[in-house]
Structure 1
Amino acid sequence: MNILFLHRIWPSYGGGETVTKCLANELTERGYNIHILYFKKSIKKNEDSDVNSKITQTLIPNVSFNETSKEFFVNKKEAKYVSKFTIEYILKNKIDFIINQWWPIEFLNNVRNQTNAKIIKCLHMDPDTKRVFHFNGAFGLLFKIILPFYRYIERKKHIYSLDKYINHSDLLIFLSPSFLNFYRLQKGNKKNIVLKTDFVYNPLVYNIDSPINIRQKENIVLFVGRLLEKHKQLSRILYAWKKIEIQNDHNNWKLIIVGDGPSKELYQQLSKKLGLKKIEFTGYQNPLQYYQKASIFVMSSAYEGFPMTLVESLQNSVVPIVMDTYSSLHDIITNNVNGIIVPNGNIKAFSDAIYSLIINNKKREQMATLGYDSCKKYHIKTIVDKWEDIFHKIK
């Protein structure tokens, strides 16, 4: 069986690419022929080392896009070019299934008409994303009045975009049951919608067969992710960390930022402005060594789908503290059991949650143990079993 994954950037960029590498490697081990089509090669060191050599990776040249934007603005000439290239590739390599990770539908408009390949579209974000806005004065008051209407329009926009994908795909895959149920409910649980939708969790990346010795953990609070403010909102974590440093009674703790991206300089400048002392920016690194040492993991994203870093923290017995901005969070974290969920935008509550774990070793160790136990359902073999069921379902 021949399977084609579609990406914008490859092989390293974010969680989506990491997931594809895990799935592609496991599927290859099971005897599938795996192909990757992409538009831009990433430039990180040793990026190809974790991709099985049997996987065919092909660059489609001269495709333009803004990698910092969720939106993908496509011109007709470019769409025609990519579509023609892809159709020829599918026919030449006898592709059975296309797993569309990041391509817009304009690039696949003619694929279903001219090939027999089944198209599976993966949705990476919460279909009901709720951004938080901070406005002061008269404008802030006005925005509070119109906010419900804005939310209504935003939700309709999300649903419309999903409708376009479902009309041009054989199956729509969500990353969590909460995402799936939300969309089905918005569409009235119609039979055709139920038949063309499903969910699959993202798999664990690391092969860790036994829990890490929690008592050997260090006094580290950890952030892992792409440094892009409009997405990850790391500034919130920096402001929360400032409150921790001000208390000064546990100054043997350190905040480590693992990752790189367009907002790195912004964060370094903000860190300097806030006078943060116990902080380190590592740049892009394999985060495993940091997970194994860290005690607390922090996330303040404006939106997420099914964040790999959150599940990775659980797998490595790092207790997560997360702002409540996406519904799949509640599929992963049970508040005050295997992690702490903080109201969206509440910097004080976020700082208080960090401090509560810093001062309470017993609570932190209990939550770390429960966190490790809670992530076993995301094992790669379990996830690929689900994918194989999907292939048989729509074949």
Structure 2
Amino acid sequence: MIKYNILFILVPSFNPNDGGVQMTTFKLASQFSKLGHNVTVFSFSNIGNLNHESFKVIWASKEKGSNNPQNIRDLDKYIDDIRPNVVVNQMPYEWVVSEFLLRKKYELDFFLLACLRNTLFSVRLNIDEYILNTIPKGIGLLFQNFFGRTLFQIIHKFRHAKDLRMILNVYDRFIMFGPQNLDEIRYFIGDFKNEKLEYIPNSIPSILQEIPSKEKVVLYLGRVTRTQKKVELLLPLWKKLMDRIPDWEFWIVGEGDERSEIEFIIQDENIARVRIWGKQDPYMFYEKASFFIMTSSFEGFPNTLIEAQSRGVVPVVMNTYPLLEWLIKDNHNAILIEPYDLDQMANEIFNLILDQERFARIQKNALLNARRFDIDTVGQMWIKLFDKHFKN
């Protein structure tokens, strides 16, 4: 077995509890270390980083992340010290980092990998929110129509195409989640060198062998925000369900800027049987819940969806982004809902409660589907990629 010296590069601080990219990095770093490889994580954030006992965590010395030349010099020094033969940049859109890595690659000849960590269609699928969040309010109103949205998409497509061409030129491989991402790249840049792409999904740390005893709980677990997560749909959904399933509860697990608003609405409208837990260890909730709902307008790779399946929870998910139909199969191991159709979502949950035989079949298949994303399986996909490169 070849022993690899692997360096992960992050822009935000390395704290697995702060986001999907950080958690994905943590799981991979832990797995590679477990397999006997040397692993280092470098963060461009000079605050908020957590050390780990099985691999090394180092970080930049100054503020302003990759925009501070001293932090680039810090990375340069660390690379000289640790001499990696594999470098994985988790956020390759930072041009200054990619340009530095390209120069450094010629010096040390490491295997240089970039990772996609969100859908490339995040703007296309959520254009009104992007206009609202990126354009000053007065000017943004001019884009809230067909012609304005079209212009915004043209500008975004031009900029994103430039970034993607840079990534495909600089990096040895571009790691994507699944085949649907290929259609996304083609939308932006048309033809390209297909051999540059590899499909490796995110992973989950463990999968139960048997489905645990479930409670009468519908679960939402994620950031409590309108942007992307669409949590403004949660209470309207529950109001369509709660009188039809009077012995069930709705649990909301997570933190975000909409939590206080949701709590106010619950109290003001006297909405029954809703519990808000804040940010918690998710697995204790997966093991108890019967249903997991997702209302997001888009996702990259929804870790929570597969984590829920790994505990025998039945996902009921808005079909809002292309990767979903590769991750899960409608009416086999999950239920896909037309975007933002709360009546359909409520009816599907209610009908599955009534049809326990169908519910149990989907539940069993959900557990089986999660095994595709076991950390041992996904870790071996990475190692095979490394081996292929170095043995050629």
TM-score for both structures, normalised by structure 1? 0.84
Q: Distance in 2 between matches of 1:270 and 1:61?
A: 44
| Paired letter, 1:225 | G
With over 3 angstroms needed to count, the CA separation of the structure-2 counterparts of 1:334 and 1:28, relative to structure 1, is same
Quote the offset at 1:97 in angstroms.
Answer: 1.6
The within-5 A match list for 1:199-214 is: 199-208=199-208, 210-213=209-212
Q: Is the 8 A contact 2:207 2:311 kept in 1?
A: no
1:37-48 pair list within 5 angstroms: 37-38=42-43, 39=45, 42=48
Q: CA deviation at 1:322?
A: 0.9
Matching residue of 1:5: 8
Aligned-pair CA distance for 1:176: 1.4
Q: Name the amino acid aligned to 2:5.
A: N
Deviations 1:31-73 (Å, cap 9, x if unpaired)? 1111111215559xxx76xx5x1200113243347xxxxxxxx
Aligned to 2:184: 182
1:100 to 80, 83, 89: 89
Distance change in 2, residues 1:342/1:41 (3 Å): farther
Q: Does 1:383 align with 2:357?
A: no
Trace 1:271-350 onto structure 2 (pairs within 5 A): 271-350=266-345
User: Corresponding residue for 2:136?
Assistant: none
**Matched AA of 2:225:** L
Kindly tell me: are residues 102 and 196 of structure 1, through their superposed partners in 2, closer, same or farther at Cα, counting changes over 3 Å?
A: same
Residue 36 (structure 2) aligns with: 31
- 1:167 aligns to what? 169
1:110 maps to which residue?
Answer: 100
Offset at 1:286?
A: 0.9
Deviates more, 1:287-296 or 1:275-284: 275-284
Secondary structure, aligned partner of 1:10: coil
Identity of aligned residues (%): 23
Match of 1:54 in 2: 54
Identify if the C-alpha distance between structure 1 residues 270 and 42 changes in structure 2 by more than 3 Å, giving closer, same or farther: farther
| Partner SS state of residue 228, structure 2 | helix
Counterpart of 2:79 in structure 1 is 90
**Aligned amino acid, residue 215 of structure 2:** E
| Structure 1 residue 195, shift from structure 2 partner | 1.9
The aligned counterpart of 1:69 is none
Structure 1 equivalent of residue 138 of structure 2: none
* Aligned-residue offset at 1:149: 5.6
Cα distance in 2 for residues equivalent to 1:233 and 1:95? 41
SS at match of 2:126: coil
Q: C-alpha distance in 2, partners of 1:289/1:256?
A: 12
List per-residue Cα deviations over 1:110-161 (Å, max 9, x = no partner).
22213423321111111123126599xxx89972565556555544444333
Structure 1 counterpart SS, 2:297 = coil
Q: Which residue of 1 aligns with 2:362?
A: 367
Contact 1:127 1:159 in 2 (8 A): no
Alpha-carbon spacing, 1:189–1:223, altered in 2? closer, same or farther (3 Å): same
Cα–Cα, structure 1 residues 298 and 158, in superposed 2: closer, same or farther, change >3 Å?
farther
Instruction: Please report the RMSD computed on the Cα atoms of aligned residues, expressed in angstroms.
Output: 2.7
Amino acid at match of 1:96: N
> Are the structure 2 counterparts of residues 146 and 280 from structure 1 closer, same or farther at C-alpha, using a change threshold of 3 Å?
same
Partner in structure 2 of residue 198 of structure 1: 198
- Aligned with residue 232 of structure 2, among 230, 235, 243: 235
Do residues 223 (structure 1) and 220 (structure 2) align? Answer: yes
Q: 1:335/1:141 Cα in 2 relative to 1: closer, same or farther (>3 Å)?
A: farther
CA spacing shift, 1:157–1:25, aligned 2, 3 Å = same
Residue in 1 aligned with 2:113?
A: 120
Shift in CA distance, 5/271, structure 1 to aligned 2, threshold 3 Å: farther
Taking structure 2 as the reference length, what is the TM-score of the superposition? Answer: 0.85
Supply the distance in 1 between the matched residues of 2:363 and 2:275 (Cα, whole angstroms).
23
The answer as to whether partners of 1:83 and 1:111 remain within 8 angstroms in 2 is no
**Is 1:358 the counterpart of 2:348 in the alignment?**
no
Aligned length: 368
The Cα of 1:2 is off from its aligned counterpart by 1.2
Q: Distance in 2 between matches of 1:285 and 1:175?
A: 27
Runs of at least 5 residues in structure 1 that lack an aligned partner in the other structure: 66-73
Cα deviation code 1:280-326 (max 9, x no counterpart): 11111111111111100011112211111001111111010111221
**Hey, what's the Cα distance between the residues in 2 that align with 1:184 and 1:140?**
29
| Mean CA deviation greater in 297-306 or 255-264 | 255-264
Mapped to 2, the partners of 1:271 and 1:353 lie a distance apart of 24
Secondary structure of 2:336's match?
A: strand
For residues 105 and 205 of structure 1, the distance between their equivalents in structure 2, rounded to whole angstroms, comes to 32
Change (3 A) 1:29 1:311: same
